[in-house]
Amino acid sequence: MRKRVFILNLLVISLLILTCSSGLIYAQTQQKERRLQIAIAGSIQNPDPSYNPFVVCEPQEVKLLLLEMAEQPMTREGVSSRLSGSKTTIDDLLRLEIIRQEDELYYINFPLFTDRDQELIIQVAEKYGQLLVDSISQKKEKIYQLLGGYRPSGVEPSKLAFIVIGGLILDLGGLDLLAEHGYIVTGPEKPGGNRYILNAQEVTEFSLKELYWGCHTDDANGAVLMTFGDHHAETVRNGFPDLMWGFGRKLGTYLKEELPELYGTELLIVLNDQMNSFLENVVAIVLRLKESPAGLPELEKATSLNPDYLEHILNFLIKIRYISREDDSYHLLIPVLTEADQDMFQRIQSLVNQEILNWLNTYYDRIKEDLKDISAVRNRVNYSEVFNMLWHYFFGYTNKFLARSGLIYDTYSAPQGFTGYLPAVLSGFRNQ
């Protein structure tokens, strides 16, 4: 697997803020009264800015127009007048299928949730999320029997459940499951050859605390570094890849502003190699500790590092709670999933997926009826795209209630340094 280029990919990001929860990418600008957060679930490969929805939707006039169109369709004259003075034209919005024309009227053509929409969605997600929790909880004993086979035994089963059920099954795997059974689409092809679902939410005071729906991943030395948690404003993910993403952004900004004469590809490549080397050593350490607790000599052998440098890395991993030290041995504190855990995972996934499918079969039509008045449904937006975005609310609330019930780790009642999130490492492991 190729190395990730952390610094080169994370220089000065003034428009885009990467969040990785199911591939979500966000861009936000602020208006005096109403704010709209534009996002995609998917990826943009075409470098032509005319096919980039973030570029097209960047002007304030466009965001205000879309909020207004969410309430009711407009004539061409109405759309054009509101775009007056904007670099974006009505033809730009039509070309990217952000709006569509039906007879003489123009409609929004993607999932957009206003503040009133979100109030209703939250009520519905809380109701039906609790019902999914009730179903999954019936399998708790079987799930924990399976988790009991995880090694090393020092990693708490609730932490494993948080990553396995919350992150890998409900979040990443849930989208695949819903797509496989025709409830949603993922990454549909868009104009310009890009593949994404455009979506937007009006910025409100709605709290994201405990809404576990954000999975951040990157790779290093063939392993996946992962954090999973909420997007609460006060959550600081002191784990990988978030620490490296933040370091890359800050370093890029510093070099560009303070040392412009050194701001070049050569230096960034050197720094990037150093960062990748550090992450490869982190992966080697946690993989060795997954086998069993180990002392410094065993870890020297696993990493081929000199003792002094190795101890610096170990001390840092202790500070961010990836490992602990007891006497002369180091112990693993976070979930590390390898090929040895594949059977355990698949059996748990089968149990949970069956409950998800039963829940969908029972409540999908009721949910659609309960949400018939949200803007995207009233504007007849493709419901398989709408439900893709709604699923994030449903599994987010499901995870919130699972944590409060104790089935998965509650990062707020027993944080142990992981408030709002948990880290994990996957190596030779498939979440399918």
Q: Which two tokens stand for residue 99?
A: 């709006």
Q: What would the pLDDT profile of 246-260 be if each residue is shown by its tens digit?
A: 887 777 777 777 777
Q: Which residues of 307-345 are buried (b: 16+ CB within 10 A; e: fewer)?
A: eeebeebbeebeebbbbeeeeeebebbbbbbbeebeebb
Q: What is the pLDDT of residue 269?
A: 76
Pairing relation of β-strands 195-202 and 36-43? antiparallel
Residue at 431: amino acid letter: N
Measured between alpha carbons, how far is residue 43 from residues 13, 23, 64, 193, 211 in Å? 16, 7, 25, 10, 24
pLDDT digits (tens, 9 = 90+) for 295-333: 999 999 999 999 999 999 999 999 999 999 999 999 999
Peptide bond into 152 cis (omega under 30): yes
Q: State how far the Cα of 111 lies from the Cα of 113, in Å rounded to an integer.
A: 7
Task: Enumerate residue ranges in the chain where pLDDT < 50.
Answer: 1-31
pLDDT at 32: 53
C-alpha angle with apex 33: 96 to 57, nearest 5 degrees?
15
Q: What is the structure's pLDDT at 263?
A: 65
Cα 355 to Cα 246: distance, rounded to the nearest angstrom: 37
Look at residue 361 in the predicted model and tell me its pLDDT: 98
pLDDT digits 0-9 by tens, 148-187:
999 887 899 999 999 999 999 999 999 999 999 999 999 9
**Residue 299 has what pLDDT?**
97
Half-sphere exposure (CA, 13 Å, Cβ side) for 281?
22
